[in-house]
Chain A
Amino acid sequence: MSGMYRVHVRVRLRPSILDPQGKATRQALRQLGYEALEEVRIGKWIELTLRAPDPAEAERLAEEAARKLLANPVMEDFDILAVETIEAVG
């Protein structure tokens, strides 16, 4: 069904890459008393709102965009978290 979809993309530093922002936040949280805290990783959450013939095509387009621009494969991974239907026609 053709319609408007919102695709949620998550971009994170690859596990092997040092994440200084995450490290700093982990340290701050531990100082606040969250000693059980093992690790913090910080990434980006990107919402793409787009028109597509069906949810699968929306996901495919989002994946292409992520591969091309949203993530740099040298240092980042991405995954599609969800495809939300905003407005479905027919």
Chain B
Amino acid sequence: MADTLRVGVVVFPGSNCDHDVYYVCKHQMGWRTRFIWHKETDLRDLDLIILPGGFSYGDYLRSGAIARFSPVMHAVTRFARKGGYVLGICNGFQILTEAGLLPGALLRNASLRFICRDVFVRVERTDTAFTSAYSPGAVLRIPIAHGEGNYTADADTLRRLEESGQVIFRYVTADGRLDPEANPNGSMHHIAGLLNDRGNVLGMMPHPERAADPVLGRTDGLGLFASLAESLVGAALKR
């Protein structure tokens, strides 16, 4: 019987933010959390699957290109198609686009450099399972750490994403304005986080798990975990 969220954190051999997000889920949120080895395929015991940051299989060819073919990703795809909740952070977002669970692709940063620093993102919708605990239009200070986060999609896809409100986070200035200076990697439409059309798969470049502990000086990412608690625990109880 589930009285708490059951969460799986996927571990690819090159994942390196797996322990970070596990720590938040398990020790800060108190969720029943386990690691999922990349060769595993049975995910029936889980309510939420997190694809963490890192360099899944080295990512020498293209970020996430090889991960897409891993046994666990076939299972994650089935899980998502059945309505299971999936959160991809950084490399996880790259893998979700490679796997076709989210549209578009993440190219090299416009600066051609890896960038690790705090950015500001605006919450574009609060009626989703991932953002319900935020107030509309809230501006969050969350770090990014990536070399390939430059979101790209063709014009039709972008129009569709905007029309259906699938852009969940956008890079903005500290006071919430869209400004090219506030876009760290050249992403089209300042896209920092994207939801699938069904609302159960979120990919985002910023790292909420790095902004979830007061002792590290950042807490704006906690709202995402609180949202999931709010939205999914009830659903999990009904299961």
Establish whether A and B are touching in the complex (CB under 8 Å).
Answer: yes
- Judging by beta carbons under 8 Å apart, are A69 and B105 in contact? no
- Judging by beta carbons under 8 Å apart, are B152 and A69 in contact? no
- Judging by beta carbons under 8 Å apart, are B112 and A70 in contact? no
Q: Is B108 an interface residue (CB 8 A)?
A: yes
| B-contact 0/1 string along A43-75, CB 8 Å cutoff | 000000000000000000000000011101011
B104 partner residues in chain A, CB cutoff 8 A: 74
- Judging by beta carbons under 8 Å apart, are A69 and B66 in contact? yes
Q: Which residue of B lies closest to A13 (CB)?
A: B107
B97 partner residues in chain A, CB cutoff 8 A: 74
Partner of A20, one of B103, B105, B108: B108
Q: Is B98 an interface residue (CB 8 A)?
A: yes
A20 partner residues in chain B, CB cutoff 8 A: 108, 110-112, 186
Q: What is the bound-complex CA distance between A18 and B154, given in angstroms?
A: 12
B62 partner residues in chain A, CB cutoff 8 A: 72
Q: Is B226 an interface residue (CB 8 A)?
A: no
| B-contact 0/1 string along A5-39, CB 8 Å cutoff | 00000000100111011001000000000000000
A13 partner residues in chain B, CB cutoff 8 A: 107
A-B contact count (CB 8 A): 34
B108 partner residues in chain A, CB cutoff 8 A: 20-21
Q: Which residue of B lies closest to A24 (CB)?
A: B112
Q: Considering only CB atoms and an 8 Å cut-off, how many residues of chain B contact the other chain?
A: 19
A72-B98, A74-B97, A74-B104 given as contacts; is B112 within 8 A of A17 (CB)? no
Q: Is B65 an interface residue (CB 8 A)?
A: yes
Q: Which residue of A lies closest to B64 (CB)?
A: A72
- Judging by beta carbons under 8 Å apart, are B112 and A75 in contact? no
The minimal Cβ–Cβ distance linking B189 to chain A, given in whole angstroms, is 14
| A-contact 0/1 string along B61-105, CB 8 Å cutoff | 110011001000000000000000000000000000110000111
Q: Which residue of A lies closest to B157 (CB)?
A: A74
Q: Is B153 an interface residue (CB 8 A)?
A: yes
- Judging by beta carbons under 8 Å apart, are A72 and B105 in contact? yes
B residues apposed to A, CB below 8 Å: 61-62, 65-66, 69, 97-98, 103-105, 107-108, 110-112, 152-154, 186
**Could you list 13 A-B pairs, sorted by A, with CB under 8 Å?**
A16-B154, A17-B107, A18-B110, A18-B186, A20-B186, A21-B112, A24-B112, A69-B65, A69-B66, A72-B62, A72-B98, A74-B97, A74-B153
